[in-house]
Amino acid sequence: MLGGALLMPFHLAALTVLSITGLLRGTPAEPLTSQFVALALALPFVAVAGLVPLVRTLEASAARVLCAPDGEVLSAPATSAAARRRASAWFTSHAFLGGVVAGVSLAAPPGGVVLLVLPLAPALAEVFPWAEPANALPAAWTPVGLALLLLPLPVSAVAGSWLARLAPTLLGPTPADRLALAEQRAERLAERARIARDLHDSVGHALSAVGIQAAAAGRLLEHDPAFAARALAAIEDTARDAVAELDHALGLLREESDAAAAPTPSLADLTDLVARTRAAGADVELDLTGAVSAVPKPVSREAYRIVQEGLGNVLRHAGEVPVRLRIAVIDGQLAIELANPTTAARATRGGGGHGLRGAAERIAVLRGTFTAGPRDGWWHLSAQIPLEGHP
């Protein structure tokens, strides 16, 4: 019936054109013939209207609720030509079958009632000329009257079942839609992986620094109150920054509209990161060479995270040791070199491994090279990132 309602304006427009032009005037059974001709004239315009992208949204929502199709239907607007053609085919089929069901529902039950009542009121044949042949043997037409009275039920059932089977084919995803959905899913997974890496690097580094600073403050609280006060202030700053980054990451995971506006760290924040690491006890020697401030933002953000992971590993696994950190922009490449001596006290500390894997993933996305491992009693972390081709 919804399809019949959708067909109605097109059908009425076609009837108006036939009435004005008088094309069927004087033909046998003119009223009935005009209905079928109007239906044939209306369907091409229904098909054209079905090409509107929003039609798939409306029809898919109706099909999902009313048809319960055994398959996937998409409520997104039809953007590709193939999707619009399929939506148009569905819209035309829906309107045509709706017109058939509406016509049968409006005409068959009243006709069935007339045939059933005819034996009791033969004069009805004068009111309904089409019933006059049944007036001779009214009892024999009783089954026909019952069939007409119930005819809308099987017609509706057949039409609805056919539309339900057709819905996944015409309103379901096209190959282009499936590709777009796969790309969107891949983008979401990549974004979640990036957020996971950021959380590991930022919060992991912060917790390592806080733990070491708290331990140092506890040891020297009585003997060096000034150092303990500085350590506690550093703990406060580190914890505040970690909470801000955690809120930002959770906002992205919750898809909050204002989460993307949160600032992201870059190499411009490197001095603060080094200062916090020094406050935790590591003696960091920083060497900046070249136009580090001109590094593209995506590369600068990922480079900061890699350095953050490297310094966090120093605090977790080596402790208060000297660290050599070199950041250089040379020959169109960003080079990161981090080295620290390994210590026997913490060399056996297990667990983890996600940070270095995350750093390697960051470098792979930027088409760079990454190595990390012990050499000559020192732990070396090295990354080379090309700067060309990045926005």
Q: What is the pLDDT along the chain (391 residues), one digit of tens a residue?
A: 889 999 999 999 998 988 888 777 766 656 778 888 899 999 999 999 999 999 999 999 989 888 878 788 888 888 888 899 999 999 999 999 999 999 999 989 988 888 888 777 777 777 777 666 766 666 777 888 899 999 999 999 999 899 989 999 899 888 887 887 788 788 877 777 777 777 766 776 677 777 777 877 787 777 878 877 877 887 887 787 777 777 767 776 676 555 544 557 889 888 888 888 887 778 899 999 988 888 988 899 889 888 988 888 888 788 778 999 999 998 889 999 999 998 654 444 444 556 788 788 888 888 899 999 898 889 999 999 998 765 5
**pTM summary value:** 0.52
CA distance linking residue 154 with residue 151, whole number of Å: 6
Residue with tokens 């009111």: 127
What are the residues whose beta carbons fall under 8 Å from the beta carbon of 247, sequence distance 6 or more? 262
In 10 A of CB 223, how many CB atoms? Answer: 8
Residue with tokens 């003997």: 223
Concatenated DSSP letters of 261-285: GS----GGGHHHHHHHHHHTT-EEE
CA distance linking residue 96 with residue 103, whole number of Å: 11
Helical ranges in the chain per DSSP H: 2-21, 30-49, 54-66, 81-117, 124-127, 142-150, 152-171, 175-220, 225-253, 270-279, 297-313, 354-365
Domains of the chain: residue spans and CATH? 2-173 (no CATH), 181-386 (3.30.565.10)
The alpha carbons of the chain give a radius of gyration, in whole angstroms, of: 38
What are the residues whose beta carbons fall under 8 Å from the beta carbon of 327, sequence distance 6 or more? 267, 270, 286, 287, 288, 289, 292, 303, 307, 334, 335, 336
CA–CA distances in Å: residue 126 to residues 129, 132, 229: 6, 7, 109
**The pairing of beta strand 283-289 with beta strand 322-330:** parallel
